[in-house]
Amino acid sequence: MFLRSVFTKILIWFDNSNVKVADNVGETIDWVRVIPFILMHLVCLLLFFVGWSPIALWVALASYLMRMFAITAFYHRYFSHKAYKTSRITQFLFGVLGATATQRGPIWWASHHRRHHIYSDKEKDIHSPRHGLLWSHMGWFLCLKNFTTQEQYVGDLVKFPELVLLDRFDSLIPIIYAFFILFLGQYLGQTYPELHTNGLQMLIWGYFVSTIVLIHCTLLVNSLAHVLGTQRYETGDDSRNNWFIALLVMGEGWHNNHHHYPVSARQGFFWWEIDMSYYLLRAMSLFGIIWDLKPIPVNRLHSNLIKKGQL
Residues at the interface with Zn ion (CB under 5 A): 239
In this structure, the number of other CB atoms found within 10 A of the CB of residue 9 comes to 18
Cα dihedral across residues 163, 153, 35, 197: positive or negative = positive
CB of 81 to Zn ion, least distance (A): 6
User: What is d(CA 278, CA 73) in angstroms, rounded to the nearest whole number?
Assistant: 7
Q: Which is nearer to Zn ion, 231 or 239 (CB)?
A: 239
Q: Which is nearer to Zn ion, 33 or 240 (CB)?
A: 240
CB of 258 to Zn ion, least distance (A): 6
**H-assigned helices in 15-122:** 35-44, 47-50, 54-69, 88-99, 106-118
Q: Which is nearer to Zn ion, 31 or 119 (CB)?
A: 119
Q: Which is nearer to Zn ion, 58 or 244 (CB)?
A: 244
Q: Which is nearer to Zn ion, 72 or 211 (CB)?
A: 72
Q: Which is nearer to Zn ion, 141 or 177 (CB)?
A: 141
CB of 137 to Zn ion, least distance (A): 13
CA angle 212, 218, 222 (to 5 degrees): 130
CB of 119 to Zn ion, least distance (A): 10
Question: Do 77 and 83 contact (CB within 8 A), yes or no?
Answer: yes
DSSP string, 113-143: HHHHHHSTTSTT-TT-GGG-HHIIIIIGGGB
CB of 255 to Zn ion, least distance (A): 6
Q: Which is nearer to Zn ion, 76 or 168 (CB)?
A: 76
Q: Which is nearer to Zn ion, 74 or 205 (CB)?
A: 74
User: What is d(CA 179, CA 171) in angstroms, rounded to the nearest whole number?
Assistant: 13
CB of 149 to Zn ion, least distance (A): 17
Beta bridge partners, 16, equal none
Can you list the pairs that 147-151 forms with residues at least 24 positions away whose Cβ atoms lie under 8 Å? 147/12, 147/16, 147/19, 147/24, 147/30, 147/33, 148/16, 148/19, 148/21, 148/24, 148/108, 149/107, 149/108, 149/111, 150/111, 150/112, 150/114, 150/115, 151/111
In this structure, the number of other CB atoms found within 10 A of the CB of residue 299 comes to 7
CB of 145 to Zn ion, least distance (A): 20
CB of 214 to Zn ion, least distance (A): 18
User: What is d(CA 22, CA 71) in angstroms, rounded to the nearest whole number?
Assistant: 30
